Amino acid sequence: MTIPLAAYKEIQLLPSILSADFSRLGEEIGAVMDAGVRIIHVDVMDGHFVPNITIGPVVVEAVAPLVHERGGLLSVHLMIEKPERYLEAFAKAGADALSVHAEAGPHLYHTVETMKALGVGAGVALNPGTDVSRVREVAGLVDLVLIMTVNPGFGGQKLIERVLEKVPVLREMLPEEAAIELDGGVNRENIRRVVELGANWIVAGSAVFGAQDPGAEARVLQDLMTGHGSVW
């Protein structure tokens, strides 16, 4: 599927299946989508770029129909070395948007162009210690920039407050139709604040799937993002 341009400007909650119960993955995806979630986030790790290993194109291919049948979209975050080798495989598996790390290779411009040619949303991700200047040369090409607010590789970490300073800087740098995605340590207490800073695609893993009722928690977080909810 092609992500509508309007979706990049909208406020979206992206539950990350990294924190889901994989024995009940279809049920948990269904629960958050029934709660109004439109984009599911998938973290791909290779054990080299980050110290953990997660899923590959085969699992994305299995998840994609569950999401697409409900009218949703699949955003895949590639925390891997040489991501250009796998872009086509993930696009064919059903990813609607791909994000590669600016730190993962020397040919970022070419990689972004390749994602565009494959017909998927093109995203660039930044580690907490990476300056926003790394995306300046491709700022007019990307559909989204993903800011990591924890060190990539593991779920359940605390948000690194100083990284939030990147959000307004990027909002000035990017076209207004591009999304700023924020990933790491987001919960009820801080989700409204990060949206007010200018981030509009917000990834939540353990905050959603670590809750007793992931669907109910997704509703709470979506209400907080739009200013209609209370942390209580």
Indicate the pTM of the whole model: 0.94
**Which pLDDT belongs to residue 231?**
42
Tell whether the model's pLDDT for residue 178 goes beyond 60: yes
Task: Write out pLDDT tens, residues 128-146.
Answer: 999 999 999 999 999 999 9
Measured CA to CA, the distance from residue 184 to residue 166 in angstroms comes to 14
Task: Write out pLDDT tens, residues 8-27.
Answer: 999 999 999 989 998 999 99
Segment 29-52 mean pLDDT: 91
Q: Which domains can be identified in the chain, with CATH numbers?
A: 5-225 (3.20.20.70)
pLDDT more than 90, % of the chain: 83
- Give the residue from 11, 19, 9, 4 showing the smallest Cα distance to 223: 11
**Which pLDDT belongs to residue 211?**
95
Q: Kindly name the residue from 21, 46, 183, 213 that is annotated as catalytic.
A: 183
pLDDT more than 70, % of the chain: 96
Confirm whether 131 is a catalytic residue.
Answer: no
Q: Kindly name the residue from 21, 34, 43, 96 that is annotated as catalytic.
A: 43
Q: Any long-range contacts for 151-156 (C-beta under 8 Å, 24+ apart)?
A: 151/127, 152/45, 152/49, 152/50, 152/79, 152/101, 152/127, 152/184, 153/45, 153/50, 153/51, 153/52, 153/79, 154/51, 154/52, 155/16, 155/18, 155/19, 155/205, 155/206, 156/19, 156/205, 156/206, 156/210
Task: Write out pLDDT tens, residues 99-110.
Answer: 999 999 889 999
**Which pLDDT belongs to residue 51?**
75
